[in-house]
Amino acid sequence: MTNKIDKIEKKEYENVVELWESSVRATHHFLKEEDIEYFKPQILNTYLDAVELRCIRNNDKKIVGFLGVADQNLEMLFIHPEYRGKRIGKTLLDYSIDHLDVTKVDVNEQNEQAVGFYKHCGFETIKRSELDSSGKPYPTLHMELKK
């Protein structure tokens, strides 16, 4: 695997949502089943078109990690559970900072691994919201890249 950054085509959105779901099930243990079912069609039909998407593929050209960026905000970064710990997230994050001007990320406070990852990569919490952007009761940390 080369960890080369690639673009995602619309015809691949179903695969992206499958990856999103397996990643969320492996890391977002605080989410309820109905929340996952609520977000799935939103991601497929709305969120993916609203962001600049990039991915990393394995040797079989299958997407194993992806990110989405809008307005310098990292809106999504998800890695397939079988590929976690292989620097894919770090490679995608670095790319988003260097090429897509990312300076901010919102993270579920309960996703402690992600919070730790972003802190390790130079982000700091500047604000906290009780609700997520959908108004669901999942506290969100608003993090910014330290200058």
Q: What is the pLDDT of residues 104-131, one digit of tens each?
A: 999 999 999 999 999 999 999 999 999 9
Which structural domain, as residue segments, surrounds residue 18? 5-145
pLDDT at 133: 87
Task: Output the pTM of the full model.
Answer: 0.93
Question: For the chain, how many structural domains are there in total?
Answer: 1
Residues 50/26, Cβ–Cβ less than 8 Å: no
The two three-digit tokens of residue 68, written as one number: 């989405």
Percent of the chain scored above 90 by pLDDT?
A: 93
For range 137-141, the mean pLDDT: 95
Q: What is the CATH number of the domain that holds 114?
A: 3.40.630.30
Chain centroid to CA 31: 15
> Which value, in Å, is the radius of gyration of the alpha carbons in the chain?
14
User: Which bin fits 21, alpha (ψ -120 to 50), beta or left (φ > 0)?
Assistant: alpha
